[in-house]
Amino acid sequence: MIFAIPLAWLQLKRETIRLLVAIAGISFAVILMFLQLGFQDALFESAITFHKNLKGDIFIISSQSTALIAMENFPERRLYQTYGVPGIKNVSPMYIGFGTWKNPFWEGLPKSQTRQLMVTGVNPSDDVLDIPGFTVQARNEIRLEDRLLFDSKSREEFGPIAQKFPEYQAKGELIRTEISNKQVKIAGLVELGASFGADGNVITSDDNFRRIFDQRQKGDINVGIIQLEPGTDVLKTLDTLKATMPGSLRVNPKLTPEQAREDFIIGDVRILSKKGFINVELKYWQEGTAIGFIFGLGVAIGFIVGIVIVYQILYTDVTDHLAEYATLKAMGYKNRYLLKVVFQEAMILAVMGFIPGYLLSSGMYVLTRNATALPVGMTTSRGVFVFCLAVIMCLISGIIAVRKVQDADPADIF
């Protein structure tokens, strides 16, 4: 039934200041939830940016490896054992290590500013990264000694490399700096992006990688990238690998049979599809760290703050109108009508509080993205999710506040 007189809205509108306070309060709760969820998603998204940009179908890592920031070595020959399997076009080894970068343009205190960044070593003959700047010429550059490609989306603490690079290039020079006290030269720029695990990235050849990390034995690699012929079935190839690779097969018993096809351990290595590789990284951050819990707690607090605010507003509103509600009951209105009014008020507040909250959150995402180089942004699914949370929040408040309506006794008003 549509009421000719929208009492809920008229009552809210009549108390303009209270309505504005309510909207501000709900917006606050909505923003809190958006930011927490946004940061959490950004963290997870940034953690797998590297994986997503790898050009490969099947990946081999050490069975001891848990995440990109904690990669163990495994012998390169394990990768080459896969070569005989039909459908495999190319295999390529990848080295990953963390080194200390010296900011070449640091002008502060005499002590030079250093910071940890991720160094990736690739075979310059193989096109294994799908990122802007990783061209054939760039790969040829890093064949030369001590040359590397710098990620222009690294945090600015690494120095204004991206800004200064064209200037140096014009002069025919290269920016020189040090990684872990080894001289390096920046031969080009790529765009990868910072993650929570790595504030910055450089990419170089496998030989240059071992010059920087001179403890590393040749053949001790971190990721084996397998590229398949076009049209080859990834899952079938994985099944073949499972059957033919030397070593004992182990599968995480928690995985479903489908997941186990894309994620299994043979001897000292773990063989993964691209999806499986991404899931390993996500799982590490979601389950192996306190991050999911902390952000979840933030969302819960926003939710509770919202409930308290909406409840306060609704309770005050019902109390103020108690005599009027009693009058309506005396006129023959049912309790249900009054309950409807309270819930309509709750819904109106949810919608009116969500809209500014959504807009402000979108703005804050942009600010955060510019300030942190993290891939944070508004998504439809998160918008819908937070809207649902806001509605549930207001409904819960309504359920608590509505009990007060029962106090409206028509016999009291005569």
To another protein, the closest distance from the beta carbon of 9 in angstroms equals 9
Q: How far apart are CA 12 and CA 350, in angstroms?
A: 13
Pairing type for strands 175-179 and 182-190 reads: antiparallel
- Give me the helices (H) in 223-334, please: 234-244, 257-261, 274-287, 291-320, 322-331
CA–CA separation, 261 vs 243, rounded Å? Answer: 12
332 near another protein (CB under 8 A): yes
Among 133, 219, 267, 410, binds another protein (CB under 8 A): 410
Q: Looking at 166-174, 302-310, 385-393, 406-414, which segment touches another protein (CB under 8 A)?
A: 406-414
Total residues contacting another protein by CB under 8 A comes to 24
Of 219, 220, 209, 222, the residue nearest 147 (C-alpha):
209
Looking at residues 51 to 110 of the shown chain, list those that interact with another protein (rule: CB under 8 A).
none
Q: Judged by CB under 8 A, which of 17, 109, 290, 411 binds another protein?
A: 411
| Among candidate residues 397, 398, 404, the one with its CA nearest the CA of residue 305 | 397
Tell whether residue 10 is a contact of another protein (CB under 8 A): yes
- Least separation, in Å, of the C-beta of 410 and another protein? 5
Task: Figure out which of the listed residues 251, 330, 355, 400 binds another protein, where binding follows CB under 8 A.
Answer: 330
| In the block, residue with structure tokens 């200064």 | 164
Tokens 């790529």 sit on residue:
190
Give the integer Cα–Cα distance in Å for 213 and 98. Answer: 9
Binds another protein (CB under 8 A): choice among 324, 347, 355, 400: 324
Residue 236 as a binder of another protein (CB under 8 A): the answer is no
The span of 20-28, 259-267, 322-330, 372-380 binding another protein (CB under 8 A) equals: 322-330
Q: Does 20 bind another protein (CB under 8 A)?
A: no
* Residue 32 near residue 302 (C-beta atoms within 8 A): yes
> Is residue 17 involved in binding another protein (CB under 8 A)?
no
Should residue 14 be labelled a site residue for another protein when binding is judged by CB under 8 A? yes
Q: Is 352 in the site for another protein (CB under 8 A)?
A: no
**Token reading at 12:** 């809210």
* Closer residue to another protein in complex, CB, 301/330: 330
| Torsion-angle region of 2 (φ positive above 0: left; ψ -120 to 50: alpha; else: beta) | beta
User: Cα separation of 181 and 88, whole Å?
Assistant: 39
Calpha distance 93→71 (Å, rounded): 14
Q: Which of 22, 94, 179, 328 binds another protein (CB under 8 A)?
A: 328
The region of 146-154, 254-262, 303-311, 332-340 touching another protein under the rule CB under 8 A is 332-340
Residue span binding another protein (CB under 8 A) among the ranges 9-17, 32-40, 175-183, 352-360? 9-17
**339 is a contact residue toward another protein (CB under 8 A):** no
76: left (phi over 0), alpha (psi -120 to 50) or beta: alpha
Question: Closest separation between CB of residue 316 and another protein, Å?
Answer: 14
Q: Which residues of this protein are in contact with another protein, per CB under 8 A?
A: 3-5, 7, 10-11, 13-14, 321, 323-324, 326-334, 410-411, 413-414
